[in-house]
């Protein structure tokens, strides 16, 4: 009877140790899952902020201002438009009336 009690006691101890280990792993994995969810939320918030910044940076007024200031560009007017003709013009352009062609 004492051998059976010792075997059952050993089985109980192994089972208890296994239960403690499983609970510890469960808590650790839950903590990691919670951290991953918080990180996903932070990244989604960051993505939304960057999308707003991208839309703000792509407005036509901002692009025009940067083109004028940094690239020294100017708006197109007929006074500054140059028409370039090529010696290898398409046959359709060669037969166009003279009044429609413009040269600098």
The tens digit of pLDDT for each residue in 9-42 reads: 999 999 999 999 999 999 999 999 999 999 999 9
- Among the listed residues 83, 80, 86, 74, the one whose alpha carbon sits nearest the alpha carbon of residue 102: 83
pLDDT tens column, 54-91: 998 888 888 888 888 988 888 878 787 777 888 776 55
Contact 83, 102 (CB under 8 A): yes
């Amino acid at each position: 009877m004492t051998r059976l009690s010792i075997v059952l006691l050993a089985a109980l101890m192994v089972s208890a140790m296994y239960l403690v280990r499983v609970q510890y792993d469960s808590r650790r994995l839950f903590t990691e899952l919670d951290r991953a969810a918080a990180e996903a939320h932070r990244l989604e918030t960051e993505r939304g902020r960057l999308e707003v910044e991208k839309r703000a940076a792509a407005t036509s007024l901002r692009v025009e201002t940067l083109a004028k200031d940094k690239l020294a560009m100017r708006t197109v007017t007929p006074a500054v438009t140059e028409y370039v003709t090529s010696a290898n013009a398409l046959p359709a352009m060669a037969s166009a009336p003279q009044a429609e062609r413009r040269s600098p």
